[in-house]
Amino acid sequence: MVLSSLLAPTLLGALAVAADSAAVRGGTVVNPDGTRIEKGVVVIQDGRISAVGGPDTPIPGDAVVHEAEGRVVFPALVLAHTQIGLDITNENVPVAPFVNVYDAIEPNSAEYEDCLRTGIGTVHVIQGNNTVIGGLSRIIRPLGDMIDAMTVRADAGLKVSISPRSGFNRMTQLAELRRAFAELAAHVDAVAEKRFEEEKKKKDEKVLVLPDEAARQGLALVTIDDLDARWRTLWRVSKGEVPLFVHCDRAMDVMRGIDWLKEMKLLEKTTFVVGSEAFKAVEALKAAGRPLVLSGILVHRETDPVTGEIKETFVPKVFADAGVPFVLQPNGFGFSADGMLWYQAARCVREGVARDVAVKAITQSAADAIGMGGELGSLAAGKWGNVAILSGDPLDQATFVDRMLIEGRLAYERATDRRLKELTTGQESPPAAAAKTEAPAAPAEAPAPAPAGDAKPDESKPAGDGSGEQN
């Protein structure tokens, strides 16, 4: 497992070598900050954007040109926190840093297909919130049949929950969390002491210090391979090598979480994943200054115990008013309705959040939250060539994703989206119209075609039901 995940970047590198260039021409290039270029040009070379400009921007002669006349050219969206593609979102062991979503991701999940259809170019797959310490996560492109080829970044993060997992109370939760790190420290000490003694033995020296001192001096000698496999991930976490996604369901958990992260000196490595009530800790979250992923449920409801009146708070508005950037998640997942990130952003605008803030929440802020703000989230030279060509304004409900480019390669085309026709008209199109693929490399494989015959769209989904875990 470890070997494969180490290999993954190498494979990617190999794929990227297949030099190719592409350009999107003639559309209105729109960026999350609101800037627009009419009849703009986006040039992508070797998967990276080399130029964004007006109609006069030079296009390399060998570039595959995608005409976007009358279309809106927009950065592909980033899904910063999701369990799509995982059949079971959490282990039933509370502390499981030794697992890796690498082993669980189902590349053929219908949700990945829906990602392309709804403009999502990058997906961070991480375990759910019903845990104390979850496993390693992975950033992928929702495209391809093999997880290694889909991988954008392995070991992208690790889930820690401050809020109690099912069956725990808050005290147990924190106690388990502390105990895990204490056990790690004890294990590392034991290994360090052993390594110190081995080192001395090698040099034929006598061990003349107390065990504590031996452990202290031996620490520098410890490598990850010396550790028990169960503790390796957590050791990397404790050294700040793996970003944390810290779930705080309620405002009270935010306070506990920040305290604990400061104590562990891990606050700077943290992205917060918060529940709807956590808006009450807006000031603390603002002071922490870390990325913030909101729950898909945007409205927090509370019943006044005295009057029985239900008070509703539109959560993103609270953070927007406080000037705290946030990331949106879809409410559920799917093509038709609330499962779309666009819809969540449009709801924010409806409730008075500034448009650029709402749009960044599904692009730039989302990229920032997974540590890829420099690569994703907007159309700019140097960034990755993940481009959504839209039929209209990003937040207009009648807008469709017309085409998707991922790292410069055509990954989706509405005109050949067979399943879309099934979803919209209830009629199946003949297999001959199956999604078109553009040749160059493996990741550009079109989504798995729908099974033939009389299957209904939903029946082609994997059998797993998520077992009702919290996500």
Partner 1 sequence: MQPLVHFALALALPPGGAAPAAASAAAGARVAALQPPPLALRVDSIVQPDGAIGPGGWIVVRNGRIESVGGGAPPAGAAALEFAGGVAMAGFVDVATVLGAGGQLSEPARAFTPEIAAADAFDGDHSDFLAAARTGVTTVGLVPGASNVVGGRIGIVRTSDDDGRGAAVAGHGPLRFTLTEEPFGGLRAPTSRMGALPILREMLANQKMALAGSSLVAADTADQIRIAVETFGAAGRPFALLQPARIDEAIELVTGKTAGAVLGPFDLDSSERDLRVSSLLAAAQIPITFTANGDGNALRLTAALATRSGLEARLARAALSATGARLLGIDGDAGTLEPGRRGDLVVFDGDPLDLAAQVQLVLVGGAAVATEEEAR
Partner 2 sequence: MSAASIAVAALLALARTGSETAPAVAPDLAAWQGGELVALQAAEVHLGDGTVHRPGIVLLQDGKVVAAGQGLPLPAGGRVIDCGEAVITPGLVDAACQLGTTSLFGSAEQASEVIPHLDTADAIDFFSRDFIELAAGGVTTVYVTGEASAVISARGAAVKTAGPLAERRLAAKPCVKVTLGPESSGRGVFNRQPSRFGGGASFANRRPTTRMGAAWVFRKAFHDTIAWRDSGRPSNDGLEPAAMAALGEVLAGATALRMQVREAMDFDTTARLADEFGLKYSIEYGTEAAQRLDLLARRAVPVIFGPVRASDSNFESFESAAPALETPKLLAEKGIPFCLTASDGSGDGGLARQAGLAIRFGLDRARALRAVTVDAAAICGLDQRVGRLAPGLDADLVVWNGAPFDDASKPVLVLIHGRPVVDPQGRFRKENS
Q: Which residues bind partner 1 (CB under 8 A)?
A: 305-308
Give the contact letters, 261-300, x = binds to partner 2 (CB under 8 A), - = no. --------------------------------------x-
Q: Which of 51, 65, 99, 349 binds partner 2 (CB under 8 A)?
A: 349
H/E stretch holding 409 reads strand 409-413
Q: Interface with partner 2 includes 314 (CB under 8 A)? A: yes
Please state the length of the chain: 471
Give the residues across from 122 on adjacent strands.
Answer: 78
Complex with partner 2: residue 92 or 424, whichever CB lies closer:
424
Instruction: Count CA atoms closer than 13 A to 100's CA, side-chain side.
Output: 21
Among partner 1, partner 2, none, partner that 3 touches (CB below 5 to 8 angstroms by kind)? none
CB of 38 to partner 2, least distance (A): 23
Complex with partner 1: residue 304 or 454, whichever CB lies closer:
304
Q: Interface with partner 2 includes 305 (CB under 8 A)? A: no
Q: Interface with partner 2 includes 401 (CB under 8 A)? A: no
CB of 354 to partner 2, least distance (A): 9
Cβ within 8 Å of residue 13, ≥6 positions away: none
* 76 and 411 Cβ atoms separated by less than 8 Å: no
At which residue do the structure tokens 């999350």 appear? Answer: 32
Q: Which of 106, 199, 338, 445 binds partner 2 (CB under 8 A)?
A: 338
Give the residues across from 21 on adjacent strands.
Answer: 45
Instruction: Count CA atoms closer than 13 A to 386's CA, side-chain side.
Output: 28
Among partner 2, partner 1, none, partner that 351 touches (CB below 5 to 8 angstroms by kind)? partner 2
CB of 305 to partner 1, least distance (A): 6
Q: How many CB atoms lie within 10 A of CB 410?
A: 21
Give the residues across from 52 on adjacent strands.
Answer: 42
Q: Which of 331, 365, 470, 471 binds partner 2 (CB under 8 A)?
A: 331
| DSSP label of 133 | E
Q: Which of 310, 432, 439, 463 binds partner 2 (CB under 8 A)?
A: 310
Complex with partner 1: residue 306 or 463, whichever CB lies closer:
306
Q: Interface with partner 2 includes 427 (CB under 8 A)? A: yes
Relative to beta strand 48-53, strand 36-45 is: antiparallel
Record the tokens describing residue 323, joined without a space: 């000037």
**Alpha helix (H) ranges present in 78-220?**
110-117, 147-150, 170-202, 211-218
Q: Interface with partner 2 includes 350 (CB under 8 A)? A: yes
3-state secondary structure of 453: coil
| DSSP label of 309 | P
CB of 309 to partner 1, least distance (A): 10
Give how many residues touch partner 2 by CB under 8 A.
35
Among partner 2, partner 1, none, partner that 331 touches (CB below 5 to 8 angstroms by kind)? partner 2
Complex with partner 1: residue 311 or 461, whichever CB lies closer:
311
CB of 306 to partner 1, least distance (A): 5
Question: Angle formed by the axes of helices 229-238 and 170-202, to 10°?
Answer: 100
Q: Which of 280, 286, 317, 414 binds partner 2 (CB under 8 A)?
A: 317
Q: Interface with partner 2 includes 454 (CB under 8 A)? A: no
DSSP 201-231: HHTT----S-HHHHHHHHGGG--GGGS-HHH
* 252 and 267 Cβ atoms separated by less than 8 Å: no
Among partner 2, partner 1, none, partner that 69 touches (CB below 5 to 8 angstroms by kind)? none
Among partner 2, partner 1, none, partner that 305 touches (CB below 5 to 8 angstroms by kind)? partner 1
Among partner 1, partner 2, none, partner that 149 touches (CB below 5 to 8 angstroms by kind)? none
Q: How many CB atoms lie within 10 A of CB 92?
A: 13
Handedness of CA 304, 309, 310, 311 (dihedral sign): negative
Q: Interface with partner 2 includes 336 (CB under 8 A)? A: yes
Binding residues for partner 2 (CB under 8 A): 299, 310, 314, 317, 321, 331-332, 334, 336-339, 342-343, 346-347, 349-353, 395-398, 422-427, 456-459
